Structure 1
Amino acid sequence: MSLNIADTSARSTASMSARVIRLNPADDVVIALEQLMSGTVIEKEALTVSGLIPPGHKVATRDIGQGEAVLRYGQVIGFASQPIRAGQHVHTHNLAMGDFTRDYAFGQAARPTVPSNEPATFQGIVREDGSVATRNYVGILTSVNCSATVARAIADHFRPDVHPEALAAFPNVDGVVALTHSSGCAIDSEGDGLAILQRTLGGYACHPNFASVLIVGLGCETNQISRLLETQGLREHDRLRTFTIQDSGGTTLTIAKGIELVQRMLSEANNVRREAVSASHLTIGLQCGGSDGYSGITANPVLGAAVDLLVQHGGTAILSETPEIYGAEHLLTRRAATQEVGQKLLDRIRWWEAYAQRQGAQINNNPSAGNKAGGLTTVLEKSLGGIAKAGSTNLTEVYEYAQPVKARGLVFMDTPGYDPVSATGQVAGGANLICFTTGRGSAYGCAPAPSVKLATNTALWQRQSDDMDLNCGEVLEGKTSIEELGAVLFKLLLDVASGTRSRSERHGYGQQEFVPWQISAIM
């Protein structure tokens, strides 16, 4: 994406300079790079600002009649709900959703990927089955919410801030984490909700970033551990142990038993070493949260440039958040490797339309309060910026939530837009790294996969750099290009995959953010 950043001068008593971005020659709006005061003249657009325009928000570049489509990125982002004059603020007060025809053109933009002739590597941990880890944890999972307290007590015994000596003898282990949830019982035993939970837990139980896993249950729950293992093709062994509170004699004895088992697991988990492996072993989950008007201009395209490099090196990127590609799905179906892949994506869109209708909700009402404050108006606008994370390569496969990802290249996984639920599904599917863009300042982590955070603007970077790993605001300032920063990000991802801790890891994020998707009725 080339950015047309126009310098402007205010023709008013207050002398000022302002900058805006035009993203596409066909657009009806430009984006303010700073707060614009009424009377500011945007010379390259022959436009005078009318009213106050916050940074990241849209300015109309022509008179727009009520009901007319409004374009950004050269695509429809909504329809004028009232007449809009050139120079006015375009936002929720005068822009609304509406129906329009999308040309899905299956596969018309699909192109062969040219492999890189300079193979990239990172320092990974190769497991016995050939899978590659970016981290080395011991994990504690729960079959049901009733065993969450016990699981956390077992993990807390090994917390460095509580018992510094507990992991001192195991320098190659990244930690012991308990990933608990609020479901597992009072749920249809044959329904999709339990199947999704079991698929999620199964994906985590065999995730390469876990050296060993302990599954703790209560004993009488709907989600019986034996059935969980059976449905996921798993069996108990030295690195996958299970037990229940009821069979172990209650809370105190269960915690003691769990601590003893984890202690044994740690000795084996410590016997690993990192070695150079191909970047093709990276599977990165793509996330955006706390988005703003700059997300689709800086951080998302930068991530997309890094994704293109990853795919060239044989790796995999998982795009998700189905409600946040809604209205832009036609740009992905055009890149589908086959018509079948494109149709799978549309099938998931149709499922969401029916799901939202059953819930009495509107799929087109996705942008959060923070998204809107940052300049995003409709889900169409958010979606068009969101899919920039996916770069430009072919869409090779579409998966349901938490399904194992087997295909290489860019794939799509059906998830909600809520970041913890979405990333949980991606990690269950095999993501060993998460890359997360934010314009408002999301604080997030995702054990056992490290999470890398990208700030969309320099103001956020300066305000919340303690949580951010890369400042993409430099693109707005003309200090670097999207392609150049994409290469920097790709190198950063290789470093993090090699063991360099991300900001969220240093803060201890990751255990509370395990949130499997719940879609069934709780009885």
Structure 2
Amino acid sequence: MMPAAPVIRLDPRDNVVVARAALPAGTEIPGEGVMALQDVPAGHKLATSHIAKGAPVLKYATVIGYAGEDIAPGTWMHTHNVLVDEIQKDYRFGEDYVAADLLPEDQRATFMGIERPDGRVGTRNYIGIFITVNCSATVARKIAAYFDEERLADFPNVDGVVPFIHNQGCGMEATGEPMDLLHRTLSGYIRHPNIAGAVVCSLGCERNSLERFFADTALETGLMLHTIRMQDVGGTAAAIEAGKQAVREMLPEANKAVRSRQSASHLRIGLQCGGSDGFSGLSANPALGKAVDILARHGGTAILSETPELYGIEHTLTARARDEATGRALLDRIKWWLDYTDGKDVQMQGVVGPGNQDGGLANVIEKSLGGAKKGGMTGIEAVYRYAEPVTARGLVFMDTPGYDPVAATGQIAGGANLVCFTTGRGSCFGSFPAPTIKLATNTPMFSRMAGDMDINCGAVIDGEMTLDAMGEVIFDRILAVASGETSKSEALGVGAEEFAPWPIGVTG
């Protein structure tokens, strides 16, 4: 096998390439006719031609910023000389839309899933302990903790009893989007196909009252949905005992769930990236995009999110929208974020986090360019607000923050029964009740953090696999984990504390 080139060229029109490994100053770059003028860290960029001050810097044939000075060929390109400025965008609508080439139903992939009475299919079988307000958080934790492995031994089809704790429910706006968003999130989890039954704990005097929550979301108590009001049952200890009894009553019914062969069309995958680096947009993200295109052909659904981390390249997504209305719905969410973050020191205003910078990302536009690759090439079928139920098939967009726990919580509330999470720096994220598969962008990090990473997409950077082949590997792992194979984060018990509804609005 020929040794891999020291740099990666992403498009013939680009005026930068990406260092496959650290390049000492003086390194000759075969095929580019340039020599590194400075040390270039792995995942960082190197100019391959003269770039005049103010001229666009191109990666994937997309503007990621402008030269802050006259750039000589071979120059290390990063935050010091790639500046963010207003980029002229061509907001085309639907011109690049490609509908999924659906396979006939009898040719679609299958997995071993859990079919619920309403026809939805889960990938896990949990009992959830929920709260209306943080005042009942300890009660929920103690109820769930009681049902350890020994006490669940007689219920082998139940994956666990999990508390879902948040910091909201009172001292917040009683009407409008903040309360609506919290209601959507909680009810989305309670109704989730991976949740067999639920207990909802409240204090009794909070703004997010049980009565209003159930009325606004059309939830109804029954055998598999119980409520506990601490002030009515006699306080903390009594509420814990009531919760234990409620779970005991649900366990025999929850244990009746068995896996059966199901079409991959029932899969809804939340797409996440965190701790991104210069390789994210070259390996794990586009490889996940290949898997998304495969999933769409099999009738499944993928949810692209993290709105602030798509800013700057949103015009490429409007071109992939199924129609102008869908494209404009996406732009409406971008505008909301621009207003929301105006004057704030956040990445949507241009500067990405220290880990992203160390990994080779110069600004939010370059990060967004890589992040969008998770969505593959399939057309965007619909746009959803945070935690809204996802009903469309194929690739869809959900408006969420870029912060991973909050973003994934919205996707799972919308119905994602599995999450695929790419990382270059080494995020240790996990999620319940939908398991997370973590995809490493580079081999050194994968080797260093093998206990947390499920798939090494660094094989693409190493020249050992193509993106298409890696996409097949990811799709196969999706089917395996959806069928019950334990992901790395599940094995570590990571996920219960990562439930994080978006806390917009005023706390007072």
- Partner in structure 2 of residue 197 of structure 1: 182
Change (3 A) 1:219 1:5: farther
For residues 398 and 437 of structure 2, what CA distance do their matches in structure 1 show? Answer: 19
- 1:215-226 alignment, distance < 5 Å: 215-226=200-211
Q: Is the 8 A contact 1:5 1:21 kept in 2?
A: no
Q: Is the 8 A contact 1:328 1:380 kept in 2?
A: yes
- Partner in structure 2 of residue 70 of structure 1: 57
For residues 6 and 409 of structure 1, what CA distance do their matches in structure 2 show? Answer: 35
* Amino acid paired to 1:519: I
Q: Is the 8 A contact 2:287 2:374 kept in 1?
A: yes
- Partner in structure 2 of residue 490 of structure 1: 475
Over residues 221-276 of structure 1, what are the superposed CA-to-partner deviations in whole Å (9 max), with x where a residue is unaligned? 00011111111121111111111111110111111111111111111110111000
Correspondence 1:111 to 2:98: yes
For residues 388 and 63 of structure 1, what CA distance do their matches in structure 2 show? Answer: 28
Q: Is the 8 A contact 1:290 1:439 kept in 2?
A: yes
For residues 219 and 280 of structure 2, what CA distance do their matches in structure 1 show? Answer: 40
For residues 242 and 72 of structure 2, what CA distance do their matches in structure 1 show? Answer: 70
- Partner in structure 2 of residue 131 of structure 1: 120
- 1:39-438 alignment, distance < 5 Å: 39-117=26-104, 118-160=107-149, 165-357=150-342, 359=344, 361=346, 363-438=348-423
Higher mean displacement: 432-441 or 237-246:
237-246
Q: 1:37 aligns with which of 24, 27, 31?
A: 24
- Secondary structure in 2 matching 1:512: helix
Q: Is the 8 A contact 2:204 2:229 kept in 1?
A: yes
- Secondary structure in 1 matching 2:31: helix
Over residues 169-201 of structure 1, what are the superposed CA-to-partner deviations in whole Å (9 max), with x where a residue is unaligned? 010010000010011101111131111111100
Change (3 A) 1:376 1:453: same
- Partner in structure 2 of residue 476 of structure 1: 461
- Secondary structure in 2 matching 1:398: strand
* Amino acid paired to 1:471: N
For residues 454 and 345 of structure 2, what CA distance do their matches in structure 1 show? Answer: 39
For residues 489 and 100 of structure 1, what CA distance do their matches in structure 2 show? Answer: 34
RMSD of the alignment, in Å? 1.3
- Secondary structure in 2 matching 1:236: coil
* Amino acid paired to 1:367: V
- Secondary structure in 1 matching 2:349: coil
For residues 521 and 110 of structure 1, what CA distance do their matches in structure 2 show? Answer: 39
For residues 75 and 233 of structure 2, what CA distance do their matches in structure 1 show? Answer: 68
Q: Is the 8 A contact 2:121 2:193 kept in 1?
A: yes
Change (3 A) 1:388 1:191: same
TM value normalised by structure 2: 0.98
TM-superposed CA distance for 1:365, in Å, is 2.9
Over residues 446-475 of structure 1, what are the superposed CA-to-partner deviations in whole Å (9 max), with x where a residue is unaligned? 100000000001111110011011010111
Q: Is the 8 A contact 1:364 1:378 kept in 2?
A: no
TM-superposed CA distance for 1:116, in Å, is 2.3
Q: Is the 8 A contact 1:210 1:448 kept in 2?
A: yes
Give unmatched runs, 5+ long, in structure 1: 8-18
For residues 393 and 99 of structure 2, what CA distance do their matches in structure 1 show? Answer: 13
TM-superposed CA distance for 1:364, in Å, is 2.9
- Secondary structure in 2 matching 1:411: strand
- Secondary structure in 2 matching 1:259: helix
Q: Is the 8 A contact 1:132 1:281 kept in 2?
A: yes
Q: Is the 8 A contact 1:32 1:57 kept in 2?
A: yes
Q: Is the 8 A contact 1:336 1:396 kept in 2?
A: yes
Q: Is the 8 A contact 2:111 2:482 kept in 1?
A: yes
Higher mean displacement: 242-251 or 421-430:
242-251
Between Structure 1 and Structure 2, how many residues are aligned?
A: 505
TM-superposed CA distance for 1:68, in Å, is 1.4
Over residues 287-321 of structure 1, what are the superposed CA-to-partner deviations in whole Å (9 max), with x where a residue is unaligned? 00000000000000110000001000110000000
Over residues 1-22 of structure 1, what are the superposed CA-to-partner deviations in whole Å (9 max), with x where a residue is unaligned? xxx9963xxxxxxxxxxx1001
TM-superposed CA distance for 1:84, in Å, is 2.1
For residues 276 and 133 of structure 1, what CA distance do their matches in structure 2 show? Answer: 12
Q: Is the 8 A contact 1:324 1:366 kept in 2?
A: no
Change (3 A) 1:361 1:506: closer
TM value normalised by structure 1: 0.95
Change (3 A) 1:466 1:360: closer
Q: Is the 8 A contact 1:451 1:504 kept in 2?
A: yes
- Secondary structure in 1 matching 2:51: coil
